[in-house]
Amino acid sequence: MTRSSRIRRAALAAGACTAVAALLGTAPAAQATQAAPDIPVAAVKAHLAQLQSIADANGGNRAHGRPGYRASVDYIKGKLDAAGFTTSLQPFTSGGATGYNLIADWPGGAEDATVLTGSHLDSVDAGPGINDNGSGSAGILEVALAVSREHLKPAKHLRFAWWGDEEDGMVGSSHYVDALGADSSKISAYLNFDMIGSPNPGYFVYDDDAKLEKVFKDWFAAKNIATEPETEGDGRSDHAPFKDAGVPVGGLFSGADYIKTAAQAKAWGGTAGKAFDACYHRSCDTSRNIDDTALHNHTDAIANAVWQLSS
């Protein structure tokens, strides 16, 4: 054996992963390049079943100021606490009742470039609000739990939020943005998910910020799923107060009371001439009012965006 090969062998035998990697020029890739995991749709549906049970046990709804809302907050918070998130409730008053935003921080990452992902957790009085907006609430919960399972160490800080009283005019999210004040400049992106499992689904990508829109559009394009820009949303959900404060906003929407056109049914399947969600704001917005494939696609797209934007 030559002297140099003996040295090479000794270096390999030393076995330290970094030494070997350096020798071979194959240092492990930084976590930044890690791909998001597939989000198990069965787990998202299990959260929806729990939200349905909460509504059933509390007069059929999970509306602001009603016991079903607070029970919904407690359910989501329990899952996040068990997964290692730092959670807090931000109370506010609306219509004479106390409402709550639930905020969950994943420890680590640059806080002056926080990626904030949010969904409203309240329903209307009329029903259990499973598509509107149990779907977004359960979807981002399962993405947050995936962050924990994967021990993600993002470069940017990750925060998740479940807003109270969206249905009376984005009350909770507006309260949060007001309380943030000048710190809104530390939010590098706000991603909003309000209705992502519509039973006659569409795939609408918020067009407010070109960079954020592209992250979602590219993911759907890679899956051969057509998308359309979301055009009715400005002022219709919790991204509005963030956009007004100058925060870049993005998000996804699978459709509400608007009618699916023939061209849209051709692209996405489902039924032309019928609403994307015929049970929108009605008592029939139950756990049966969900398209599983749409819910799964949207939830995986959220995970991809969270992974990419925080790296």
Size (the chain), residues: 311
With CB atoms as reference, the residue minimizing the distance to Zn ion is: 132
Whether 150 sits among the annotated catalytic residues: the reply is no
- Residue pair 271/278 in contact by the 8 Å Cβ criterion: no
Cβ distance to ligand TRP smaller for residue 106 or 253: 253
- Residue pair 304/219 in contact by the 8 Å Cβ criterion: yes
Cβ distance to ligand TRP smaller for residue 235 or 273: 235
Specify the 3-state DSSP secondary structure of 77: helix
Least distance to ligand TRP, CB of residue 152, Å: 27
Q: Binders of Zn ion: how many residues, by CB under 5 A? A: 1
Least distance to Zn ion, CB of residue 107, Å: 32
Cβ distance to ligand TRP smaller for residue 158 or 195: 195
Least distance to Zn ion, CB of residue 124, Å: 6
Q: What are phi and psi of 5, to 5 degrees?
A: -70, -30
CA distance 201 to 98: 34
How far from the centroid of its chain's Cα atoms is residue 20's Cα? Answer: 39
Binding at 72: pick from Zn ion, ligand TRP, none (beta carbon under 5-8 Å per type): none
CA distance 124 to 283: 9
Binding at 237: pick from ligand TRP, Zn ion, none (beta carbon under 5-8 Å per type): ligand TRP
Least distance to ligand TRP, CB of residue 74, Å: 22
Cα 304–Cα 309–Cα 311 angle in degrees, nearest 5: 100
Cβ distance to Zn ion smaller for residue 132 or 300: 132
State the catalytic residue, choosing from 111, 142, 150, 166.
166
Q: Which residues bind ligand TRP (CB under 6 A)?
A: 132, 166-167, 194-195, 230, 232-233, 236-237, 253, 256
Binding at 256: pick from Zn ion, ligand TRP, none (beta carbon under 5-8 Å per type): ligand TRP
Residue 285 contacts Zn ion per CB under 5 A: no
- Distances in Å between the Cα of 267 and the Cα atoms of 84, 170, 263, 270, 274 are 41, 32, 6, 9, 15
Least distance to Zn ion, CB of residue 218, Å: 29
Binding-site string for Zn ion from residue 117 to residue 156, where x marks contact by CB under 5 A and - marks none:
---------------x------------------------
Cβ distance to ligand TRP smaller for residue 141 or 252: 252
Enumerate the H helices of the chain as residue ranges.
Answer: 3-14, 17-24, 41-56, 67-82, 136-149, 171-180, 210-222, 239-244, 262-268, 292-310
10 Å CB burial of residue 40 (0-12, 13-18, 19+) is: middle
Supply the residues annotated as catalytic.
Answer: 166
Residues that bind Zn ion (CB under 5 A): 132
